[in-house]
Structure 1
Amino acid sequence: MMPPEKPRRDGALAGLARFCYRRRRLVLLTWIVGVIAVAFVGFAYGAAPDNDFSGGDSDSAKAQALIEKHFPERQGDTLTLAIKAQRGIDDPAARQKIEKILADLATSPIVGPVTSPYQDKSLVTQDRRIARTTIPLTQKEVDKTAVKPLVDMVKNASDDGVTLALGGTQAEKAETPPQGSSESVGIVAAAVILFIAFGSLVAMGLPIVTALLAIAAGIALMKLVGYLVPSPDFTVILAAMIGLGVGIDYALFIVTRYKDSLQAGDEPETATVKAITTAGHAVLFAGTTVVIALMGLIVMGQRLMTGVAVATSVIVLVTMIAAVTLLPAFLGFTGYKINSLRLPRRTSQRQKAAGAASRERRTIAERWARAVQRKPLVAAILAGGVLVVLAAPALSMRLSNPDASVQPHDRSSYTSYEILSEGFGPGYSAPLIFATEVGSGRTDLRPVIEAVSMTEGIAYAAPPQVSKDGKAAIFMAFPKTGYQDKATADLVHRLRDDVLPKAPGGEGVYVGGPNAGTIDMADDISSRLPLMIAVVIAVSLVLLIALVRSVTIALQAAVMNLLSIGAAYGVLVAVVQWGWLGSALGFPTTMPISTWVPMMIFPVLFGLSMDYEVFLISRVREEYERTGDTRTAVTRGMAQTAKVITAAAAIMVAVFTTSLLGPDLAVKQGGLGMAVAVLIDATIIRMILVPAVMELCGKANWWMPGRRAPKVASAPPAEIAEEARV
């Protein structure tokens, strides 16, 4: 455990802290050279992101495998040109404009043969006002910088009653702006919070500089690890948010402990060693908990989510190492100047007033804890009730992935979706691709196509296509409902469970395509999520019991963390799926929760919640070992940690909330969920539930099978008298 009075002089952390402090120039130079070298290699030669979520044993994965094997000509992605002419596409002016844009598209080096809607009547609606055509891309992976000029060219050609728009996955990517300066906003917000907490530019700067160096090295390493374990493109944004949050928080806890030791009269070196052997020890445990929680994503059995787990774990590991090596070196340079560069004070009276205000703030924390402890059952019931109410919307959570229908309405991809939905139905953008092996006399798919066409919810089915090798066939069917509609998912399940098994020749026909793939992924996540939650909780409980040496407190932490995460899920559903304040927070319309968000934010939030639990309970246990009174230990532990936990939580909330400034809807959802969870954890959980439940449990808080209660050190009479007056 972390002794409250002096550091262990024979411990490994003490030796590491002392080495980094004394050899601070060598440590700093090593970090700078190392970060530059790793950043150069990682950012210049790192692995490209992998966004292929296909694979596995699902129907959509089997369909995709057949298509890739027997239809190599279909491997390239496609764009869809949507055309709407108020006077009809046969109007001379409209036709001239449409044919010119078709010709311009055909000259692009990334575009294959373009079929004119004037040559194929199936590409035009009966009233001849809306038309479409599919534009094949010559490469499977096309850089969005090559697609963006095509999107702009088509969009700019719209006028005089003719609306033109390009849709498709590559068009959406091309139109999506970069993440921009949201991380910079988060850094500025963190700097303001740190300055308010410390009142010193030097103390403010240390956590930020430490975190930024760690993030630069971590992201570069993450890109190199991508060669072994690939991850999708959103991983960098997510990892940067997590790394910035935990990196600043970990450094914040150590710097706070360092300042406390200096204030108690310790020399800078002794204060550094004490900070690392106490707060640094807690940082290592908290970071390990986050890493283990993240690795719980491996249980999901999805290749790319394993990559996300490994990549984000690399970021957390690097921030942990920076906190216990780089930060002690920085403290060696600052020494007693940790409080330098304060804002100037006009008079000494103001300084006295500020000191009095600081003491008053500490007293408020103790008074609040005492107030909760006087009515612990009422406080626990009220807090628990609020969390249950907030979590209730999570019961109606639906999973999907953002498509063109939920994009900002000024984008070409959304305009394309609107035109195609009006002319050909909302299901045109959500086609189902049926694939099967043929041969040995089985080439007639007419009974299957007829059964699919007659299924309620299907608008129409297209004729089949046989592969060039004659071993496989595919056909497409278009639902009447859109990509995000629950009825579309129900239709896919009905086709697989009822229609295809009963249709002659329906056995061995797989339903695939992007729409079915998303539905399969959502089903797979929903079925595996409880297992991941159980594994993360079990492993974290073992670690927390080992640290705090109390089964009761570990169980309390697990239950409270589940409550806060459940409440975050509920708020996320209310905002994103129900639309409560959605437009104000940057969501263009209501939409399901992105498939990866619930499984990604759970381990992150569980690990971060354990961070706050560790820092609070560590202080509480120190006080209990010193005084032997749980009530006093809780009040004094809260008083000592309230300011730093509040600052740490505020930094996390600020960093995660800045994701709402970015364009990626899934990342925005993840940031919102994590910000809400941290806010709930730092307020309702730490300020109400923890003191209330610990008061109700009393000495049972410290129960450990086969072990006596913690040994209580005798407190000096003056301290006993002081605690009696609290």
Structure 2
Amino acid sequence: MREENGPKEKLMTIDTPRTDGALARLARFCYQRRRLVLLAWIAGVIAVAFAGFGYGAAPDNDFSGGDSGSARAQALIEKHFPERQGDTLTLAIKADRGIDDPAARQKVEKVLADLAASPVVGPVTSPYQDKSLVTPDRRIARTTIPLTSKDADKAAVKPLVELVKDASGDGVTLALGGTQAEKAETPAQGSSEIVGLVAAAVILFIAFGSLVAMGLPIVTALLAIAAGIALTKLVGHLVPSPDFTMILAAMIGLGVGIDYALFIVTRYKDCLQAGDEPETATVKAITTAGHAVLFAGTTVVIALMGLVVMGQRLMTGVAVATSVIVLVTMVAAVTLLPAFLGFTGHRINSLRLPRRASRSRQATGAAARERRTIAERWAGMVQRRPLVSAVLAGGVLLVLAAPTLSMRLSNPDASVQPRDRSSYTSYEILSEGFGPGYGAPLIFAAEVGSGQTDLRPVVEAVSRTDGIAYATPPQVSKDGKAAIFMAFPKTGYQDEATADLVHRLRDDVLPGAPGGEGVQVGGPNAGTIDMADDISSRLPLMIAVVIAVSLVLLTALVRSVTIALQAAVMNLLSIGAAYGVLVAVVQWGWLGSALGFPTAMPISTWVPMMIFPVLFGLSMDYEVFLISRVREEYERTGDTRAAVTRGMARTAKVITAAAAIMVAVFTTSLLGPDVAVKQGGLGMAVAVLIDATIIRMILVPAVMELCGKANWWMPGRRSPKVTPAPRAEIPEEAGV
């Protein structure tokens, strides 16, 4: 352990290596018993993968529930209209010469017969038998295809979608729509994670210049992710989660897993360069960077668990699943990685490319010193004009965050799918023939007594409402205890006017109609609107809880209320800017098509509440790694300006590499097919990029310079007494 130049008492910081603590003993055990640790990890991953992937819970995509109007309507339908349960498909037909043209009719009737012959399809009503299924000009028709089998999943429905698409041609366009059709057409996530992994490997090689050093974080992260995903599938039996959870968890796990291992390997290399033996270097790396990893990972987990405040059953499942992934990556970083370091020893820098290997140590040292000089120059430039730097950086972030004020929430439907999908073609045909609101029906449900089964006054009031295209006659349940009817808006699923219409029906129309007080407005469209409203109302509470808990943790770690508050405010600014960019790209359509979004669309309901805790936790990660070094330098020198400059110089390279890996991993989600996952990946990539550039390179040094000694304020504790060390005695090491 290095001796301090200050008082005789030892000033322990979060980066001062301890050789007698629990982490040190763990690191030493994993290093010395590396074969046992590695075999235990391999056996554990195999066992958990066998159980998780073989017997894990299926995803649950039912976001209904709670006490919203749509949830109450759905409960009535499930109780009194069991025949209406089950998924359906909609066959959309468009014939240029009309559906009565002999060639068109032959084609349509053949498709109807082929669909009816499927073992997962119920009775099919021909539009030739029901005039209400055909437009007045007889060019566009529709019919509902009931799915009778509970096993009618993606694999069973995809042949039906292909059958209908293949039948199109010669002036007749046919397409299948519906939730199951959308799922059947959505391809697997594909190679986007592989692309992210390759990008991370390239960044690691640039940072380390060694294939061995590059491989350790990747192998550690992959084993942790395999075990973590399998565990989340098992946990799904207790806490269900939707189908996008695995994609999101793998993306977050890959990013944090590689980053955590990167910080530890960097510290290990620094210790070797300082002359430590491999075992001692491993212990120091785990007790310093490993300590910070455990704190950073714990912060991410606590932030994720803030989703529980939202009261959304499935989002609680998402929080638990992603937390499991992060926890496993933390454990791997402080147990599996030390074992790997035991195998590599001094060979951590092996397998360099010839071009890099040919460089002399002197040239490499000169280049490292030049990099540090650049980082120090930048920090010094910001610190010379801290107020101007802070105002300019803050202004840029506020401008980027401004679009957040117009954020709208919804769920993707057929209208925002890629244009080559059958589900989009079906939406387009039905919108042309029956109006854009055909795909956004509202279902009205009410309990009725034996003497009051007439909902016609309510239907008439709804029909007269501005924004309603038409309403169906009421239908009474077989038990005579409930009645329902449907109304179709003039606007589509994603239109803001549709949400306004639902609120107007509930607040004004139904209370004013005879018998309308007990009528509930439901259906998928109303359910999405209710979920968006619920999230919007609860999001501030979740943000407050996450910030409060994180403040307590960070204050305890860095021992400064001022720095903890700075971190919270800066994290809010970076996340707000990420929200704003997300709204501009996705909702306003700026560069949306170039980034893989078929059209402008609202933000998916789960995206803002999901990415906030993830980003807040990740931002705290970088804060911990930077401030830990700044704190160490301050306790050596007593000079805040010098401490910030040296802290930035030492961490600039590794934080830049870590952020680049995160950005690369999150950005690869844009290569996938799920537009909601794309939104989440884009938002997280933008936030990490902003955090690693504007926040860490400008705002942090500027604000800390403005605060001066107030940076280290802690109630009830004096600032530590320090004896400034000569600059020459400050070790010239880089990294964490």
Query: How does the TM-score come out when normalised to structure 2?
Result: 0.96
Counterpart contact for 1:185–1:658, Cα < 8 Å: yes
Counterpart contact for 2:546–2:613, Cα < 8 Å: yes
Q: Return closer, same or farther for 1:613/1:722 CA change in 2, 3 Å cut-off.
A: closer
Counterpart contact for 2:242–2:318, Cα < 8 Å: yes
Instruction: Measure the CA separation in 2 of the matches of 1:572 and 1:722.
Output: 41
Deviations 1:440-459 (A, max 9, x none): 31100100000000000000
* Range with bigger deviation, 286-295 or 469-478: 469-478
Counterpart contact for 2:77–2:445, Cα < 8 Å: yes
Q: Return closer, same or farther for 1:211/1:717 CA change in 2, 3 Å cut-off.
A: closer
% identity of equivalent residues = 90
Counterpart contact for 1:290–1:603, Cα < 8 Å: yes
Counterpart contact for 2:94–2:140, Cα < 8 Å: yes
1:671 is paired with a residue whose SS is helix
Instruction: Measure the CA separation in 2 of the matches of 1:628 and 1:689.
Output: 21
Counterpart contact for 1:77–1:139, Cα < 8 Å: no
Q: Return closer, same or farther for 1:216/1:480 CA change in 2, 3 Å cut-off.
A: same
Deviations 1:610-653 (A, max 9, x none): 00000000011011111111111111111110000000000000
Counterpart contact for 2:270–2:734, Cα < 8 Å: no
Instruction: Measure the CA separation in 1 of the matches of 2:735 and 2:612.
Output: 42
Instruction: Measure the CA separation in 1 of the matches of 2:222 and 2:735.
Output: 44
Deviation at 1:438, TM superposition (A): 1.3
Deviation at 1:260, TM superposition (A): 0.5
Deviation at 1:382, TM superposition (A): 0.4
Deviation at 1:139, TM superposition (A): 3.1
Instruction: Measure the CA separation in 2 of the matches of 1:725 and 1:278.
Output: 12
Q: Return closer, same or farther for 1:438/1:684 CA change in 2, 3 Å cut-off.
A: same
Counterpart contact for 1:75–1:140, Cα < 8 Å: no
Q: Return closer, same or farther for 1:198/1:496 CA change in 2, 3 Å cut-off.
A: same
Counterpart contact for 2:267–2:735, Cα < 8 Å: no
Deviation at 1:498, TM superposition (A): 0.3
Q: Return closer, same or farther for 1:300/1:178 CA change in 2, 3 Å cut-off.
A: same
Counterpart contact for 2:192–2:668, Cα < 8 Å: yes
Q: Return closer, same or farther for 1:349/1:140 CA change in 2, 3 Å cut-off.
A: closer
Q: Return closer, same or farther for 1:308/1:721 CA change in 2, 3 Å cut-off.
A: closer
Query: How does the TM-score come out when normalised to structure 1?
Result: 0.98
Q: What does 1:637-716 align with in structure 2 at a 5 Å threshold?
A: 637-712=647-722, 715=725
Q: What does 1:583-662 align with in structure 2 at a 5 Å threshold?
A: 583-662=593-672
Counterpart contact for 1:189–1:655, Cα < 8 Å: yes
Deviations 1:463-483 (A, max 9, x none): 111111111111110000000
Instruction: Measure the CA separation in 2 of the matches of 1:10 and 1:450.
Output: 79
Deviation at 1:317, TM superposition (A): 0.3
Instruction: Measure the CA separation in 1 of the matches of 2:689 and 2:729.
Output: 34
Instruction: Measure the CA separation in 2 of the matches of 1:284 and 1:723.
Output: 23
Q: Return closer, same or farther for 1:202/1:403 CA change in 2, 3 Å cut-off.
A: same
Deviation at 1:718, TM superposition (A): 3.7
Instruction: Measure the CA separation in 1 of the matches of 2:649 and 2:503.
Output: 55
Counterpart contact for 2:650–2:733, Cα < 8 Å: no
2:420 is paired with a residue whose SS is coil
1:134 is paired with a residue whose SS is strand
2:596 is paired with a residue whose SS is coil
* Range with bigger deviation, 247-256 or 469-478: 469-478
Counterpart contact for 2:409–2:604, Cα < 8 Å: yes
* Range with bigger deviation, 347-356 or 222-231: 347-356
Counterpart contact for 1:436–1:473, Cα < 8 Å: yes
Deviation at 1:357, TM superposition (A): 2.1
Q: Return closer, same or farther for 1:141/1:607 CA change in 2, 3 Å cut-off.
A: farther
Deviation at 1:348, TM superposition (A): 5.4
Q: Return closer, same or farther for 1:211/1:4 CA change in 2, 3 Å cut-off.
A: farther
Counterpart contact for 1:4–1:622, Cα < 8 Å: no
* Residues 1:496 and 2:506 aligned together: yes
Counterpart contact for 1:83–1:131, Cα < 8 Å: yes
* Residues 1:161 and 2:175 aligned together: no
Partner residue, 1:4:
8
Instruction: Measure the CA separation in 2 of the matches of 1:5 and 1:266.
Output: 24
Q: Return closer, same or farther for 1:630/1:394 CA change in 2, 3 Å cut-off.
A: same
1:179 is paired with a residue whose SS is coil
Q: Return closer, same or farther for 1:683/1:499 CA change in 2, 3 Å cut-off.
A: same
Deviation at 1:17, TM superposition (A): 0.5
Counterpart contact for 1:567–1:677, Cα < 8 Å: yes
Instruction: Measure the CA separation in 1 of the matches of 2:680 and 2:59.
Output: 19
Q: Return closer, same or farther for 1:456/1:14 CA change in 2, 3 Å cut-off.
A: same
Q: Return closer, same or farther for 1:354/1:724 CA change in 2, 3 Å cut-off.
A: closer
Deviation at 1:601, TM superposition (A): 0.1
Q: Which residue of the other structure, out of 56, 74, 77, is the alignment partner of 2:66?
A: 56
Instruction: Measure the CA separation in 2 of the matches of 1:714 and 1:26.
Output: 46
1:193 is paired with a residue whose SS is helix
Counterpart contact for 1:144–1:174, Cα < 8 Å: yes
Counterpart contact for 2:393–2:699, Cα < 8 Å: yes
Instruction: Measure the CA separation in 1 of the matches of 2:472 and 2:629.
Output: 68
1:712 is paired with a residue whose SS is coil
Instruction: Measure the CA separation in 1 of the matches of 2:734 and 2:218.
Output: 40
Q: What does 1:171-186 align with in structure 2 at a 5 Å threshold?
A: 171-186=181-196
Q: Which residue of the other structure, out of 99, 105, 112, is the alignment partner of 1:102?
A: 112
Deviation at 1:129, TM superposition (A): 0.5
Deviation at 1:355, TM superposition (A): 3.3
Deviations 1:573-613 (A, max 9, x none): 00000011000000000000000000000000000000000
Q: Which residue of the other structure, out of 460, 478, 483, is the alignment partner of 2:493?
A: 483
Counterpart contact for 1:123–1:132, Cα < 8 Å: yes
Deviations 1:417-453 (A, max 9, x none): 0000000000000000001111231100100000000
Instruction: Measure the CA separation in 2 of the matches of 1:311 and 1:472.
Output: 39
Counterpart contact for 1:76–1:141, Cα < 8 Å: no
Counterpart contact for 1:702–1:710, Cα < 8 Å: no
Partner residue, 1:271:
281
Instruction: Measure the CA separation in 2 of the matches of 1:723 and 1:246.
Output: 24
Q: Which residue of the other structure, out of 420, 426, 433, is the alignment partner of 2:436?
A: 426
Deviations 1:336-374 (A, max 9, x none): 010000111489566544432222111100110001000
In the alignment, structure 1 segments of 5+ residues that lack a partner are none
Instruction: Measure the CA separation in 2 of the matches of 1:598 and 1:93.
Output: 50
Instruction: Measure the CA separation in 2 of the matches of 1:350 and 1:257.
Output: 22
Counterpart contact for 1:54–1:61, Cα < 8 Å: yes
Counterpart contact for 1:77–1:141, Cα < 8 Å: no
1:132 is paired with a residue whose SS is strand
Instruction: Measure the CA separation in 2 of the matches of 1:395 and 1:470.
Output: 47
Instruction: Measure the CA separation in 1 of the matches of 2:311 and 2:426.
Output: 35
Q: Return closer, same or farther for 1:124/1:202 CA change in 2, 3 Å cut-off.
A: same
Q: Return closer, same or farther for 1:92/1:315 CA change in 2, 3 Å cut-off.
A: same
Instruction: Measure the CA separation in 1 of the matches of 2:360 and 2:265.
Output: 25
Instruction: Measure the CA separation in 2 of the matches of 1:107 and 1:323.
Output: 55
Q: Return closer, same or farther for 1:722/1:274 CA change in 2, 3 Å cut-off.
A: closer
Instruction: Measure the CA separation in 1 of the matches of 2:665 and 2:713.
Output: 37
What root-mean-square deviation, in Å, do the aligned CA atoms of Structure 1 and Structure 2 show? 2.1
* Range with bigger deviation, 633-642 or 134-143: 134-143
Counterpart contact for 2:651–2:734, Cα < 8 Å: no
Q: Return closer, same or farther for 1:469/1:379 CA change in 2, 3 Å cut-off.
A: same
Q: How many residues align?
A: 724
Q: Which residue of the other structure, out of 339, 353, 356, is the alignment partner of 1:329?
A: 339
Deviation at 1:126, TM superposition (A): 0.3
Counterpart contact for 1:345–1:351, Cα < 8 Å: no
* Residues 1:255 and 2:265 aligned together: yes
Deviation at 1:46, TM superposition (A): 0.1
Counterpart contact for 2:212–2:350, Cα < 8 Å: yes
Deviations 1:681-724 (A, max 9, x none): 00000000000000000000000000011342552574379999
Deviations 1:644-691 (A, max 9, x none): 000000000000000000000000000000000000000000000000
